[in-house]
Structure 1
């Protein structure tokens, strides 16, 4: 499960990041109402998404657009991530990354 989730998040990050940019992968712990969770982060240097786009990004077949139109892919990667993570009792989020880009976060109970 985790391998598929990270594969999808990394593929999305590579798709939107400028050539030569750096992806950052790291893990942290965060407090949540249900206790401490492990947060796995995939941070890109792409254009990021608006709040409205972040809310829709987990919808099946939704694809982001850039200045040249729709980005590639089927629009299923993030929907699959969400279903896999939820099946394990976790959740997936997209956050604005400091300085631009997107921070894709998978939160899993410890």
Structure 2
């Protein structure tokens, strides 16, 4: 099952050359784990609520590959370039199988 690394970019607190260094190398750290960008802070249209930050979505073949990427020596070496300069919320979210219907979520509701 695909797993997605989803990041909400709240604020660039220090626009430093380290951010450029991170961006130069992040794709190379993802390649061995099958990671690929689906969204990288592209144009957005806010339909409901407010959205003031950026959005990044990276797809991995499964959670194990996503976790292995995040924990890898190569990614950990560049991670401080991002975390020291950008305020971000990051999660892993598992995808759903092909043919999934929203009504399947009913079984998880407490009523």
State whether TM-score is above 0.5.
Answer: no
Larger relative contact order, structure 1 or 2 (CA cutoff 8 Å, min sep 6): 2
Structure with a larger share of its residues in helix: 2
Structure with a larger share of its residues in strand: 1
Q: Under a length normalisation based on structure 2, what TM-score does the superposition of the two structures give?
A: 0.41
Q: Under a length normalisation based on structure 1, what TM-score does the superposition of the two structures give?
A: 0.41
